[in-house]
Amino acid sequence: MSIKQALKHPADRSVCHIRYGKYQNREKQEGKNMTTKHMSFEQGPIRPPNEAKSLLLRFTRNCPWNQCLFCPVYKGKKFSLRTVEEIRDDIQAAHDIAEDIKALSFRLGCGGMIDNEVISAVFNDPSLTDSYRSVAFWLYYGTGACFLQDADNLIMKTRDMVEAIRFLKEKFPELARITTYSRSRTVIRKSVESLRQIREAGLNRVHIGMESGYDPVLKFMKKGVTAAQHIEAGRKLIEAGMELSEYIMPGLGGRNMWREHAVETARVLNKINPHFIRLRSLRIPPRVPLYKKLQEGTFTMQTDDMTVEEIRVFIEHLDGITSTIVSDHIMNLLEDVHGKMPEDKERMLQVIDEYQNLSDLDRQIYRVGRRGGTYSSVRDMQRDPVTYQKIRHLVEKIKKEEGPDGLEAFIKELADKYV
Ligand code: SF4
């Protein structure tokens, strides 16, 4: 039975039909056509990796800055605020869809649980919008988390943000975590009191794209913010009671500034002590402005091995903090460089040692396996000797036929397919 068929079942005309009736009447009075409009809601293009199972709702569109040289996400797209009414309509739609899916679960005899059968019914009904699929997955995973898109939501007026988040909590009281992206430049324009109001409304975590704590790198990359402003913003968010997640970008200093980038980024983070430090290594697809600098030779990319050394220097310089380090981005070579400071610092450095102590050939095998999506840890190579031999054979074949440059080009192609 499809979700539409289930909802048509005459013996089971549920609350959701009655509610829709009321909703439609209200819409009619307001002269709006709600037939399909309210069965979908808007979503933006990205979310942090750890928000993959969160409900995604769009509070603003695109990025108000949009100048960072390495960033492909919103180029060519104009930033816009959304009205509180638009956001409320989207939240209402997400809520109605969630209720419909739960009603479907009851009709299928699943007792309100969103299990494989319900997911299958939703995904096999082509008449349903992507919003249904998105909400169904969120209910299936049961994370109780919501991520507010797009790049810089704290640019909203405090009272609008508070109103929108309160409405979100009213419609989804089960939400335990509401998070968003924002820019340090935007955060420092808000008072701690304003941030606290937003926190009290329900926003409990902010992801900041710090990228670097070294001013020449920030300037070169047109990040539009200084290291001092990153520190000020981070401290303000923590003072307001938010959880803070700082993204940093290994590789962003290139070959000229890699060491200063690593050391100064650690210094800035030592002054903030964020809850999370997340690594997202640089890749340069042709569609970003940095690609032109790469072609001109005014920026030279770090190799994988040099980036690993850079992360070593970065971790060595972290001091006096209690942050959790996370390496959950597919761009990162070593996913198991993660842990809590300070107790896991030595273990994280050991993970780097394990990679650096491999033979040249094994490092190449690992890189091919990692960039091809097979490995996430150096230890994976020992766990599966058959796969190891297959990759080894491939690496040796490419080197024999195309030389070391051919192998590097092959690995680059594998890695770039994720950007
Ligand atoms: S602020 Fe963030 S989203 Fe905006 S251009 Fe820079 S990296 Fe991209």
pLDDT tens track for 297-328: 999 999 999 999 999 999 999 999 999 999 98
Report whether 175 contacts 145 (CB < 8 A): yes
Cα distance between residue 302 and residue 256, in whole Å: 9
Task: Measure 21 CA to ligand 1 centroid, in angstroms.
Answer: 42
pLDDT band at 382 (very low <50, low <70, confident <90, very high): very high
**From the CA of 72, how far away is ligand 1's center (Å)?**
8
The token duo for 177 is 């975590």
Q: Could you identify the atom of ligand 1 that is nearest to the CA of residue 65?
A: 4
Question: Which value, in Å, is the radius of gyration of the alpha carbons in the chain?
Answer: 24
Q: Which residues line ligand 1 (CB under 6 A)?
A: 63, 65-68, 71, 73-74, 151, 183, 209
pLDDT, tens digit, 9 for 90 and up, residues 240-282:
999 999 999 999 999 999 999 999 999 999 999 999 999 999 9
Output the CA 414–ligand 1 centroid distance in Å: 24
- Tell me what the mean pLDDT of segment 398-409 comes to: 95
Which residue among 70, 71, 208, 252 has the greatest number of ligand 1 atoms within 8 angstroms of its CB, and so is best to mutate? 71
Q: Which residue has the higher pLDDT, 215 or 49?
A: 215
Residue 398 alpha carbon to ligand 1 centre in Å: 37
Distance 348 CA to ligand 1 centre (A): 29
Mean predicted lDDT score pLDDT of the chain: 91
Backbone angles phi, psi at 214, to 5 degrees: -110, 115
Q: State which of 46, 58, 63 you would mutate to test the pocket of ligand 1, scoring each by most atoms of that ligand within 8 A of its C-beta.
A: 63
Ligand 1 atom index nearest CA of 150 = 3
User: Which of 60, 61, 66 is the best mutation target for the ligand 1 pocket, counting ligand atoms within 8 Å of the beta carbon and taking the most?
Assistant: 66
| Spatial strand order in the sheet of 324-326 | 55-58, 145-149, 177-182, 205-211, 243-248, 276-279, 324-326, 339-340
Interval 203-228: pLDDT, tens: 999 999 999 999 999 999 999 999 99
